[in-house]
Amino acid sequence: MNDFLSIEKKKFKSRLFMGTSKYPNHQVLLEALKVSGTEAVTVAIRRISLKKNDENILDILKKDFFIIPNTAGCYTVKEAVLTAKLAREALKTNFVKLEVIADDENLLPDVENLIPAAKELVKNNFVVLPYCNDDPIVCKKLEDIGCAAIMPLAAPIGTGMGIQNDYNLRIIVENAKIPVIVDAGVGTASDVAVAMEIGCDGVLLNTAVAEAHNPVMMASAMAKGIAAGREAFLAGRISKKFHARSSTTNKGKIETN
C-alpha cells in the first residue's frame, strides 16, 4: 500500500517520528530507532554541539535518518528564530520543529510567542512544524500562517498520560488541510493507535520509548500501534449504536413452535 505522509515535498513511508533524548545510551537509541521503522528523528539543537570537530549524536544519526532540528528550550520568539537559523546553517535543512514554551514546570506551548515565531520562520522559507496546544483555533491560525504541519499535544511533554481530549483532536483533524501529527504525552502503543484511528497523520514521541523498561521492545510496539491505527482509520470503523444488534439475520431460522 503506497500510503505516504507528505510534508511539503518530503514523503515519509513511516508515520512514526522519534525523539532522540533520554535514552540510556546511543546503542539503545539506535536499536530502538531501527525497530520502530521511523525515517525521521528530532534533535534538540540547543542541547548539542554544532562544531564540526565535536562528535555528537548528529554524526550517528545523519547516515540513516532524516533529521528535523527542534527549538526545545526556547522561551521567546528571538531564541526560537535564532536557534532555527543556526540549525539550518549547520544541518542544511529548512525543516524545523518549532517549540516555544512558557515555563520549565509544565512545558506547555506559549501561544503568544509561538504564532509570531512561526510567522517569521515561514517568511524565511522554513518548513515549520509547530508544537502547539490541542486547540482547534490555534491550530487553524498556524495553518493559515503557512506552517507545513501542526503538532498538537496529546498531554504535557513526558507525562505519558495519553490523549486527554480526543474531541479537540477530532475537530483539528476535521478542519486541517495540512498534516496533523500528535506530539507529546504519549505513554504506550494504545495511545498511538487511538491517535491514528482518529485520523491523525502521524505521531511524534520520545519519552514513552526512551524511558520504558525495555525501550527497544516499546519502540516495536509503537510501530505496530501506528500500523494498526492507520489501517483501522482507512478501513472505517462501524458507527456506535445505543442498542445491541445481532451479527446474524433471522433468515433460515429454525422455528421451535
Which of 34-38, 86-90, 124-128 has the weakest average pLDDT?
86-90
- Grid coordinates in use for 60? 550517528
The whole-angstrom distance between residue 153's C-alpha and the CA centroid of its chain comes to 8
Task: Indicate whether 255 pLDDT > 80.
Answer: no
Residue bearing the bigger pLDDT, 69 or 53: 69
Over range 97-107, report the average pLDDT: 90
Q: Could you tell me which of 74, 70, 71, 48 has the C-alpha nearest to residue 60?
A: 48
- Catalytic position from the list 9, 34, 63, 97: 97
Over range 28-33, report the average pLDDT: 95
Average pLDDT, the chain: 91
Please answer whether residues 202 and 179 qualify as being in contact, where contact means their C-beta atoms are separated by less than 8 angstroms. Answer: yes
Q: Catalytic annotation on 97?
A: yes
Give 173-206 pLDDT, tens digit per residue. Answer: 999 999 999 999 999 999 999 999 999 999 999 9
Please answer whether residues 125 and 94 qualify as being in contact, where contact means their C-beta atoms are separated by less than 8 angstroms. Answer: yes
Output the 3-class SS for 16-29.
Answer: EEEECCCCCCHHHH
Residue with cell 545510551: 25
Task: Indicate whether 124 pLDDT > 90.
Answer: yes
- Please give the C-alpha separations between residue 140 and each of 75, 122, 127, 178, 209, in angstroms, as whole numbers: 22, 15, 17, 10, 30
Residue bearing the bigger pLDDT, 54 or 205: 205
Please answer whether residues 13 and 230 qualify as being in contact, where contact means their C-beta atoms are separated by less than 8 angstroms. Answer: no
The residue extents of the domains of the chain are 15-235
Residue 47: pLDDT band by 50, 70, 90 thresholds?
low
Enumerate the β-bridge partners of residue 128: 96
- 3-state SS, residue 208: helix
Residue 54: pLDDT band by 50, 70, 90 thresholds?
very low
Residue 63: pLDDT band by 50, 70, 90 thresholds?
confident
Residue with cell 493507535: 193
Which of 29-33, 47-51, 134-138, 179-183 has the weakest average pLDDT?
47-51
Over range 2-24, report the average pLDDT: 92
Over range 126-133, report the average pLDDT: 96
Class of domain 15-235: alpha beta
The percent of residues above 90 in pLDDT, for the chain, comes to 75
The H-or-E segment that residue 39 falls in is: none
The pLDDT of residue 244 is 84
The pLDDT of residue 240 is 85
Over range 131-156, report the average pLDDT: 96
Give 114-123 pLDDT, tens digit per residue. Answer: 999 999 999 9
Give 204-254 pLDDT, tens digit per residue. Answer: 999 999 999 999 999 999 999 999 999 999 999 888 888 888 777 667 666
pTM of the model as a whole: 0.88
